[in-house]
A = this chain, B = another copy of it.
Amino acid sequence: MVRVAVVGASGYTGVELLRLLATHPLVDVVCVTSRQHEGQAIADVFPSLVGAYDLRCEPLDVERIAGRCDLVFTALPHRTAMDVVPGFLQAGCRVVDLSADYRLKDRNVYEQWYQEHSSPELLAEAVYGLPELYREQIRAARLVANPGCYPTSIGLGLAPLVRNNCLCLKSLVIDSKSGVTGAGRAAKLGSLYCEANEGFKAYGVASHRHTPEIEQTLSALAGEKVVVNFTPHLLPVNRGILSTIYADLDDNYELEPLLDLYRQMYADEPFVRVLPAGQLPNVAHVRGGNYCDIGVVVDQRTGRVIVVSVIDNLCKGAAGQAVQNMNLMCGLEENMGLKLLPVFP
């Protein structure tokens, strides 16, 4: 059994981790932490978990936690994460960090989009936890930086085309839409039901912090520096990200050869489903599951390809991918604890 802790368990990513781990046959959740709910039963914080967990929320005391765990999921806000991750590593735990703190390889880029980094020496060691691209490195990693939700949908959506040089890279336009869980569980005006319900808006246009992470992944795939337009929108659903991605094709491609690139790259992937020509994905079909569904269209009139990819932002976009990474790190079957199907409708 792998003994794990969920640090920062009272957010939406925390409860999703606990949902998934409850049915994982080889994991024992030994500790959950929450500053806000310290001392409270986690099943009182999230009544959906009643019957599955007897744990109470502990304070975030690295030493007291590290001794009991093999692996720690840090589901904390960026900046908070980098204050505790080094301690867990020193104490011998492996870490899947769900914050942004170890995703960017370049300290300067991190500090430009976020703030000063307190443990930059770990940036080189941390492995970017997108198994479809970095599976072998993840297996050996001590610290995995779990990807952002938007970058996951975009990285998987574009990898076959970028890796195979099909695109005019500077034409990339990425229009993404995320469910409201993406804004977290903090009590903010903009996250209120009556502000988001029956509403729709763009936000962070040309300035969202996931931009450099997206560009880092695409640049690595392309072998050259990629700069993109990335526009996120707030979608009135609980869960789900859909990214609509536009790029000029480098050549006069038909659809099928492009789809073949997807089928080849993702043939053995347990969590990527490439849709047949003519079908397009819907966030409703991945809700609660760990899948990334991808559809592709070629517009002959404009010479552009349109890629549409969807994930559940809490699952493949966060907690599900974190469990997938844990499985890889611990030598378990990659889809263990993740065999549940999406809940439709």
Residues of A within 8 A of B (CB): 12, 15, 18-19, 22-23, 46-52, 170-171, 173, 175, 177, 180-181, 185, 187-189, 191-203, 205-206, 227-229, 231, 233, 235-240, 242, 244, 246, 273, 275, 279-289, 291, 293, 295, 297-302, 304, 306, 308, 310, 339-345
Structural contact, B301 and A198, CB atoms closer than 8 A: no
Question: How far is the CB of A310 from the nearest CB of chain B, in Å?
Answer: 8
Provide the bound-state CA to CA distance between A233 and B293, in Å.
Answer: 16
6 contacts between A and B (CB under 8 A): A47-B285, A48-B286, A197-B237, A201-B283, A206-B299, A231-B244
Question: How far is the CB of A158 from the nearest CB of chain B, in Å?
Answer: 15
Provide the bound-state CA to CA distance between A304 and B242, in Å.
Answer: 22
Please name the residue on chain B nearest to A175 by beta carbon.
B175
Question: How far is the CB of A153 from the nearest CB of chain B, in Å?
Answer: 12
Which residues from B are CB-within-8-Å of A345?
Answer: 12, 15, 181, 194-195, 197-199, 238-239
Structural contact, B343 and A206, CB atoms closer than 8 A: no
Please name the residue on chain B nearest to A306 by beta carbon.
B205
Knowing A189-B185, A341-B48, say if A229 contacts B246 (CB, 8 Å).
yes
Partner of A302, one of B50, B229, B304: B229
Provide the bound-state CA to CA distance between A200 and B202, in Å.
Answer: 15
Most chain B CB neighbours (cut-off 10 Å) among A18, A187, A196, A341: A341
Which residues from B are CB-within-8-Å of A181?
Answer: 194, 345
Structural contact, A47 and B202, CB atoms closer than 8 A: no
Question: How far is the CB of A235 from the nearest CB of chain B, in Å?
Answer: 6
Provide the bound-state CA to CA distance between A312 and B308, in Å.
Answer: 25
Which residues from B are CB-within-8-Å of A49?
Answer: 341
Provide the bound-state CA to CA distance between A173 and B299, in Å.
Answer: 12
Structural contact, B200 and A235, CB atoms closer than 8 A: yes
Partner of A238, one of B194, B227, B283, B304: B194
Please name the residue on chain B nearest to A188 by beta carbon.
B187
What 4 A-B pairs are tightest by C-beta distance, nearest first? Answer: A199-B284, A206-B299, A48-B344, A201-B282
Question: How far is the CB of A276 from the nearest CB of chain B, in Å?
Answer: 9
Knowing A197-B193, A235-B200, say if A273 contacts B50 (CB, 8 Å).
yes
Please name the residue on chain B nearest to A296 by beta carbon.
B205
Structural contact, B201 and A192, CB atoms closer than 8 A: no
Structural contact, B244 and A202, CB atoms closer than 8 A: yes
Structural contact, A202 and B240, CB atoms closer than 8 A: no
Question: How far is the CB of A244 from the nearest CB of chain B, in Å?
Answer: 6
Partner of A201, one of B12, B239, B242: B242
Provide the bound-state CA to CA distance between A297 and B281, in Å.
Answer: 29
Question: How far is the CB of A196 from the nearest CB of chain B, in Å?
Answer: 4
Please name the residue on chain B nearest to A248 by beta carbon.
B171
Provide the bound-state CA to CA distance between A281 and B200, in Å.
Answer: 9
Provide the bound-state CA to CA distance between A191 and B297, in Å.
Answer: 23
Partner of A173, one of B235, B246, B279: B246
Structural contact, B227 and A15, CB atoms closer than 8 A: no
